[in-house]
Amino acid sequence: MIIMEKSCGSPKCDVVKKGKKIGHMDGLNVIQWFLKNKYRYTGTFSRFVTEDPDDSHSGIKIDIIIPERHLIIKDACIEWMKSPLNNGTFNAQCIESYEGQFD
């Protein structure tokens, strides 16, 4: 049984790789699914802008920070990206909340 439980979005999010900010995502949408007794997180983005072009590819593992909701999408893996706009989809392991400023 597949149940879509929650969804959220943000116009602009920060992208972190190994604790260092590498860029941002625009037009982010995330859906929380319950599938086979486990939560799954999938999402889409309309643009992924990085400081280093080598960080902008499918298969990269990142954390996505949604500052206005105080959420971190942990271990997100970019499934595919379409050039030249760099829009695409991702899967994530979990979503965590945080308090205060994220550095």
Tokens of 8: 């959220």
pLDDT at 6: 74
The span from the CA of 15 to the CA of 62, in Å, is: 7
Q: What band does 102 get if pLDDT is binned at 50, 70 and 90? A: low
Per-residue pLDDT at 16 exceeds 70: yes
Give the model confidence (pLDDT) of 30-87 as tens digits.
999 888 888 889 999 999 999 888 888 889 999 999 998 899 999 999 999 887 778 9
In this predicted structure, what is the pLDDT of residue 28? 95
Q: What single DSSP character describes residue 89?
A: E
- Flag whether pLDDT at 2 surpasses 70: no
